[in-house]
Copies of this chain bind each other. A is one copy, B any other.
Amino acid sequence: MILQKKKTFNDFAAAKGLRSTRQRDVILDMFLSTHQHVSVEDLYLKVKASHPGIGYATVYRTLKLFAESGLAREILLHDGQTRYEHVLAGEHHDHLVCTGCSAIIEFEDATIEKLQEEIALRHGFQIRSHKMEIYGLCADCSAKGQA
């Protein structure tokens, strides 16, 4: 699966005539080894730990490339930092975001996806991607709120 993703990016890079560099390999490895929703800062620190030479700007640039290649997706939450999440082929997952503890729970619902397509059709709209976030309190936080 990781190999498949590397291939996705390499194909994209080849098609765009991008050069293959050590830095991009490292950042790709690191990105693939993370869990969901890495901020640029997060990834930069992770990268710097083992490769101190790699700069901030390169991480920014490279993550934008990942997004362009379809490997990653930018998510805007409300903390002013762009985060990147993995795009698993053909899979859309959406988020429950806890406003108490900032926990993010992922979910997926095929019916909602279907309905989205219907809505798009009704408006003559061609879907490229979508994003859904539900804000509220997670089970823990709403339990704490009661106590």
Contacts and interface: CB of A to CB of B under 8 A. Distances in A.
Decide if the interface of chain A is mainly helix, strand, loop or mixed.
strand
Given A96-B125, A125-B96, A132 B131 contact: yes
Interface stretch (A11-19, A22-30, A34-42, A103-111): A103-111
Contacts of A123: 96, 105, 107, 138-139
Contacts of A78: 74, 76
Given A109-B119, A128-B137, A131-B134, 8 more contacts: A76-B76, A96-B125, A107-B123, A116-B134, A124-B139, A126-B137, A128-B136, A130-B133
11 contacts: A76-B78, A105-B123, A111-B115, A123-B138, A124-B139, A125-B134, A126-B137, A127-B135, A130-B135, A131-B131, A132-B132
Interface residues on A, range: 20 to 34
Given A76-B78, A96-B120, A107-B119, A136 B131 contact: no
